[in-house]
């Protein structure tokens, strides 16, 4: 199966399952209609896919193939069992994505791009692909460099990319897991309740819970916050100054990195 077909298959299956789960066990009441938001977020996804395929394409995977053929990367310089090398490569990639997320909040230029993701007034699985195309391309370039530096096997890169897409859908889902399952799951992975804190309008909460898949990095680096101060049902999602739906059309979101504060 090709790289595109693999990622698309995983995406479609997870999207369908999570959409059904959201409809059955919603966590919060919506502020906007799903049709409106899904239309805007799907529009961004389409632009992102076109931008990627017309420019860098499957660059991270292709770099992995090339790096393996050339013997590049840290993991190819040390003698490790294949399974351990694969696990270490996956974990290091996830750690690197955590740091990328922190940088996209800390560096003003990157934040201007990343804030498109944070303007969503509701949070559900479609928020998991609400990203500006500039962010998608910057993230892809970052992963190309990481793959070359680490020497991660091509199949691990494919697995990681699929996991990252699936984790983004899951962590943004408007899904009520229940206190027990959520507490248990978040010791390993980022859950919807854990990530929802990150989308709070309160700056101190926005700058927390940066993890995408593994939840350990926020605890390790002191950016973990257990819950929003106002509670999950009453917290305000989005950004101050960007709470009016009419300012959050697809065209305006694409221009947002160039707009004022």
pLDDT tens-digit map of 44-80: 999 999 999 888 878 999 999 999 999 999 998 888 9
Nearest to 139 by CA among 96, 76, 199: 96
- Quick one: average pLDDT of 213-223? 98
Residue 7: what pLDDT?
Answer: 74
What is the C-alpha separation between 44 and 24, in angstroms, rounded? 26
Mean pLDDT of the chain: 94
pLDDT per position as a tens digit, 108-167 = 999 999 999 999 999 999 999 999 999 999 999 999 999 999 999 999 999 999 999 999
What is the C-alpha separation between 160 and 148, in angstroms, rounded? 15
Residue 54: what pLDDT?
Answer: 82
What is the C-alpha separation between 221 and 132, in angstroms, rounded? 27
CA 159 to chain CA mean position, Å: 15
Contact 100, 139 (CB under 8 A): yes
Residue 1: what pLDDT?
Answer: 60
Residue 2: what pLDDT?
Answer: 67
- Quick one: average pLDDT of 211-226? 97
Residue 78: what pLDDT?
Answer: 87
DSSP, residue by residue, 152-174:
--HHHHHHHHHHHHHHHHHHT--
Residue 40 pLDDT > 80: yes
Residue 221 pLDDT > 70: yes
Contact 190, 224 (CB under 8 A): no
Residue 11: what pLDDT?
Answer: 87
Pick 7 or 187 by higher pLDDT.
Answer: 187
What is the C-alpha separation between 87 and 57, in angstroms, rounded? 25
Full residue range of the structural domain in which residue 98 is found: 3-258
Residue 246: what pLDDT?
Answer: 92
Q: How many domains is the chain partitioned into structurally?
A: 1
Place of tokens 């926020």: 218
Contact 125, 12 (CB under 8 A): no
| CA 172-175-179 angle, 5° bins | 110
pLDDT confidence bin for 261, thresholds 50/70/90: low
Residue 227: what pLDDT?
Answer: 96
CA 37 to chain CA mean position, Å: 18
pLDDT confidence bin for 3, thresholds 50/70/90: low
């Amino acid at each position: 199966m090709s790289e595109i077909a693999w990622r698309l298959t995983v995406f479609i299956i997870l999207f369908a399952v999570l959409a059904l789960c959201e409809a059955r066990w919603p966590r919060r009441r919506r502020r906007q209609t799903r049709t409106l938001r899904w239309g805007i977020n799907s529009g961004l996804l389409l632009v992102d896919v076109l931008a990627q395929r017309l420019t860098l394409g499957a660059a991270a995977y292709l770099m992995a193939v090339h790096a393996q053929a050339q013997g590049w990367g840290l993991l190819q310089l040390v003698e490790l069992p294949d399974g351990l090398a694969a696990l270490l490569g996956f974990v290091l990639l996830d750690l690197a994505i955590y740091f990328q997320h922190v940088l996209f909040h800390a560096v003003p230029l990157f934040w201007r791009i990343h804030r498109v993701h944070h303007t969503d007034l509701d949070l559900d699985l479609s928020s998991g692909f609400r990203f500006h195309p500039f962010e998608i391309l910057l993230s892809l370039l970052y992963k190309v460099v990481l793959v070359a530096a680490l020497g991660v096997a091509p199949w691990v890169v494919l697995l990681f990319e699929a996991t990252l897409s699936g984790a983004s859908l899951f962590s943004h889902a408007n899904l009520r897991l229940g206190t027990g399952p959520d507490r248990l799951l978040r010791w390993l992975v980022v859950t919807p309740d854990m990530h929802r804190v990150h989308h709070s309008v309160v700056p101190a909460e926005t700058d927390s819970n940066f993890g995408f898949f593994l939840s350990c990095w926020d605890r390790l680096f002191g950016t973990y916050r257990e819950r929003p101060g106002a509670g999950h049902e009453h917290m305000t999602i989005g950004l101050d100054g960007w709470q009016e739906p009419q300012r959050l059309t697809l065209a305006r979101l694409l221009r947002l990195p160039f707009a004022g504060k």
